[in-house]
Amino acid sequence: MKGRPLIPFAIIALLGVVLMVALSAVGNHMRNIAEEGGEGAQEEVVIDDPIEYGETVVSESCIACHANDLSGTGNAPAINNLEGRLSHEEIVEIVTNGLDGGMPAFGGQLQENEIEAVAEYLLDASQ
Minimum gap (Å) between residue 49 Cβ and ligand HEC: 17
Minimum gap (Å) between residue 19 Cβ and ligand HEC: 52
Q: Which of 53, 55, 66, 116 binds ligand HEC (CB under 6 A)?
A: 66
Full 3-state SS string of 20-86: HHHHHHHHHHHHHHHHHCCCCCCCCCCCCCHHHHHHHHHHHHCHHHHCCCCCCECCECCCCCCCCCC
Nearer of residues 103 and 116 to ligand HEC, judged by Cβ: 103
Binding-site size for ligand HEC (CB under 6 A) equals 21
Minimum gap (Å) between residue 84 Cβ and ligand HEC: 11
103: which DSSP letter?
A: B
| Exposed/middle/buried for residue 32 (C-beta within 10 Å: 0-12, 13-18, 19+) | exposed
x/- track of binding to ligand HEC for residues 96-115 (CB under 6 A)? ---xxxxxx-x---------
Integer Cα distance of 42 and 17 in angstroms: 36
Integer Cα distance of 99 and 87 in angstroms: 16
29 has binding-site annotation: no
Q: Which parts of this chain interact with ligand HEC (CB under 6 A)?
A: 58, 61-62, 64-66, 75-77, 79, 91, 94-95, 99-104, 106, 118
Binding residues: 62, 65-66, 103
